[in-house]
Amino acid sequence: MGYGDYWRAHRRLSHQYFRPAAVSKYYPSSAKSVHEMILALRDTPGRFMEHIRHMAGSNVLRIVYGIEVKPEDDPLIPIVEESVQVFSKITVAGAYLADSLPILQHIPAWFPGAQFKRDAAKWRPVVDAMYLQPHMEVKASFNNGDARPCLLTDVLFEMSQDREGRDYTIDEDVAIGVMGVSYAAASDTTTLTLFNFVLAMLMHPEVQKTAQEVLDGTIGRSRLPEIEDRDALPFITAMVKECLRWRPPLPLALPHRSVADDEYRGFHIPAGSVVIGNAWAILHDEERYPDPDVFNPRRFLDGEGRLRKDVPDPTDAFGYGRRICPGRYFALDVVWLAMANMLAVFSIEKPMDEQGNVIEPTGEYMTGSFK
């Protein structure tokens, strides 16, 4: 989507509901989802990946669409999961030859080299279902007068009001796009960051032990951590930062296109060039982060355990410029709460095989935009 009024309408709506001043009203929903995840992990710890995904997805569905997801076999979750997998595949830079040779977009679908068109035809119904199915459910409830409290209900109410004298109006296709992207982006970023957190705890049990000692010493064992405890627990915040830096969920930022000729360090960048931010390289820059391959949350803390201001935050994990992820504040809140609760209740240990031998994690990843 190019810059212009249409893009600005999407960005304005995203900022309205996910700016720092707005995300605090989502704390109760996030806490509820995290607590449900803790109970699920207690009962079936071997399904931890499924429970983390369910937590992230159900939380965003409740906030955006007011939908209470079923604990088991909810029909919406598979739709969204498949859509996110599609997104991960198609946003890999160079995934299709048409990325490098735009003229190929004009060839027929049956022609060699037009795999992108055949894939698009196969995947479009899945993506459309993710965007439209929950939207139409909420819209029907709104029109019947029994709307559920959620972001989309607020948007539909605003759309129904007299538009005279307002600074801008909201079109329904903009609402559909923003709400759908909010769900997909927020749930997947949260999920992948927490997967990487589990991996880090398996590979660095000494960090886990320190975090648990900090939690026990600060809030005790009579209650679970709350988002209001964040200022008193800088070590947990440092762990969130380090997880994003050590294994960014989007190691290569989404491709951008230059809108004008530019120059960078002597390299000429013509207008229309595809530019890809290498978040992995930036977040593993030895000058910014010494020993970058080592998982070390203390790099973000000073000698007294306070957060340092001279170490760059790993915001590169959320993109760049005007297209940086507007939901990053919400995602950081959920990730912090989930990490703190998991550490307060459980110890994350390496599995064993049938012979009782410890299985060492390889740390290897599958191909895709998200890691």
Task: Give CA–CA dist 21/367, Å, rounded.
Answer: 36
At residue 352, φ and ψ (nearest 5 deg) are -125, 150
Q: Give residue 229's Cα distance to chain centre.
A: 22
Annotation: binding site = 325
Burial-class residue 230 by CB neighbours within 10 Å (0-12, 13-18, 19+): middle
Orientation angle between helical segments 328-345 and 205-219, nearest 10 degrees: 90
Closest CA to 350 of 341, 340, 359, 337: 359
Using CB atoms within 10 Å of the CB of residue 189, give its burial: 0 to 12 exposed, 13 to 18 middle, 19+ buried.
buried
DSSP 8-state assignment for residue 161: S
Annotated binding site for heme: 325
Tell me the two tokens of residue 339: 């990490």
Question: Distance between CA 158 and CA 339 in Å, rounded?
Answer: 36
